[in-house]
Structure 1
């Protein structure tokens, strides 16, 4: 269950093909791609920089995937998260999950993304028309993750 934190962009189609690897057990694949928007909290965003703790970030992402695989019958999962300087329309994150049935992979994919937003050590700095600012965690992200508590 691969996890990659990288500066380079990724090819969604190639990544999903590789994740499937022609595995005949896979009946469903769900994915999510997060993109840089040109506006946040009412301000225009010209660029963002994502920072992380190398090693710690990958460990946190691996733990999140592990939790998803304990909760749902998934076959494989992939998380690719970019760091560094990003511009509007750039891809930030890919979360993909494979399994036998759509319900399992939809739930696991959403869980991984919700937990990634609240539990993975990333920091986001945006450049806006009002200047540069660090972006605080959103209450909506915490609420999304909270719904998965047992």
Structure 2
């Protein structure tokens, strides 16, 4: 088989595979598919979602967030209190040993305040996570019109 045919076959076979170029692994932690929903151009806030898998035998904690696209980034969660769902800031998020934490709509999430310019679907922006043990992890957040397909969410 010629080299050209091999390359063509490789390209065709690889075309159906999902691409997670913005996933990151740092030590025992793996951060899966960081994404944000496209917001109206004048919206002052945005949210970021992802899944943190801890493949180690020690818990870790997400302590801090930074991004150049917003004035401030905070850890938040939705809680059900007095019959109402509300959002509140949390100081840190525990990532259990051998477990995972989902940052998703109506759960834990990253809130970006004072967004300088809302990103459009198809664009990406940087987000830095700081963990107690794993240290600093640089993410590349994908902006999407809609939430990711079910295979990304689970």
Global fold match (TM > 0.5): no
Greater Rg over alpha carbons, structure:
2
Which protein is richer in strand relative to its size?
2
- Using structure 1 for the length normalisation, give the TM-score: 0.29
Which protein is richer in helix relative to its size?
1
Per chain length, whose mean CA-contact separation is higher, i.e. which structure has more relative contact order (CA < 8 Å, sep 6+)?
A: 1
